[in-house]
Amino acid sequence: MKPLDHLEHLDKHLVDELAQVARETVREELREQTRKQRRKAALYAASGALALYAGAALALAVGLALALGLPDWAAALITAVILGALAYVLRGMARPSGPGAGHAADPAPGRDGARRTAAQAVGGMPCPPVPSAPPGGTAAPGPVPPRPAGAPDVHHRGV
């Protein structure tokens, strides 16, 4: 038997014990974090349920108030339309507004509407309008004359 064989067995035992302690520590910490997250989720769920009931009570109150001067069916219809409009507005507010979000629905992407949508996505401030002509009162210049064939930056095809 070599003189270091007993140390190798001791090292394996130490590593196994250390791994077991680390597993238990991590497991306990995860249990604690899960317990906190579960409590927070339950509180959010209870809050959402109470908000739903509060909204239903408010809708009922609006419907009953309208029913004082209108037929019941008209009051219910008006209340439903109001709730539908609010849902539509909230859905629009929840959608992310990225640089490509408003361009698909725009009939003319180069117009002011696209510029406004991009500005709102960046910081909410609209961009100033771009003038159609350069400053100084001159109209747009005419066609650009062609470059000479001997110019060094012109690409020659087939040569």
pLDDT of 29 reads 92
pLDDT of 142 reads 62
pLDDT of 44 reads 87
What are the structure tokens assigned to 111, written together?
Answer: 């117009």
Half-sphere exposure (Cβ direction) of 102: Cα atoms closer than 13 Å: 19
pLDDT of 123 reads 54
The rounded distance, in Å, linking the Cα atoms of 67 and 80 is 13
* Tens digit of each residue's pLDDT, the chain (159 residues): 565 666 667 778 888 888 999 999 999 999 999 988 888 888 888 888 898 899 899 989 989 998 899 898 888 899 889 888 888 888 888 887 765 555 554 445 455 555 555 545 555 556 667 767 666 655 555 676 666 666 566 555 655
pLDDT of 30 reads 92
Q: Residue 19 to residues 24, 30, 38, 83, 156: CA-CA distances in angstroms?
A: 9, 16, 28, 58, 70
Alpha-carbon dihedral sign for residues 120, 121, 124, 130: negative
pLDDT of 132 reads 73
Q: Is the separation of the CB atoms in 99 and 114 below 8 Å? A: no
What are the structure tokens assigned to 24, written together?
Answer: 């238990």
Only one residue has tokens 């004082």, namely 68
